[in-house]
Amino acid sequence: MIIKIIKASENCLHSVVDIINDATLNLNKKGINQWSYPCDAKEVEQDIMMNHVYILVLNDNVVGTFSLKPIEHYAPVDVEPNSKYLYRLAILSAYKGNNLGKEMMEYVCRTARCLGSTIYLDCWAGNKKLRNFYTEAGFEFLGDFPEEDYFISVFKYK
């Protein structure tokens, strides 16, 4: 099994959108409606152009994605200087259970250490499995905060 994590290029747009939409439908089946379906392909394309999107390639197949961008302000909490926001972490449902999410999180944590950055992320507060995943990956739980008509759990990695 050969795993690579690289920055997404423009020709990866459809793969990234497909992965996000697959993950969104999978979340919706569980009653988790944090992401909109279908995802906004133009927004994803802009993030790719800004070099914020990464892909996880397994044996030459794009099966996962995440985005990481600089943040100066983050409404729920005060952020530290040189911080990044981790978002749209998704793996094709057919590849779940292969520790690929763990691979992505280890990559993000290594990147944070190399850059001397603090990483912030959030998820729907009712997703206990994901909350546990982030805690096990070394992220500190900062609390639950209101957003629109639900609560989000906010985490940081330093």
CATH numbers and ranges of domains, the chain: 3-157 (3.40.630.30)
Residues 6+ apart with CB under 8 A from 46: none
Q: Within the chain, what is the greatest distance between any pair of CA atoms?
A: 42
**47 and 69 Cβ atoms separated by less than 8 Å:** yes
**127 and 92 Cβ atoms separated by less than 8 Å:** no
- The SS3 of residue 151 is strand
Q: Is the pTM of this model over 0.75?
A: yes
**91 and 101 Cβ atoms separated by less than 8 Å:** yes
Give the mean model confidence (pLDDT) for residues 47-55. Answer: 97
pLDDT score, position 23: 95
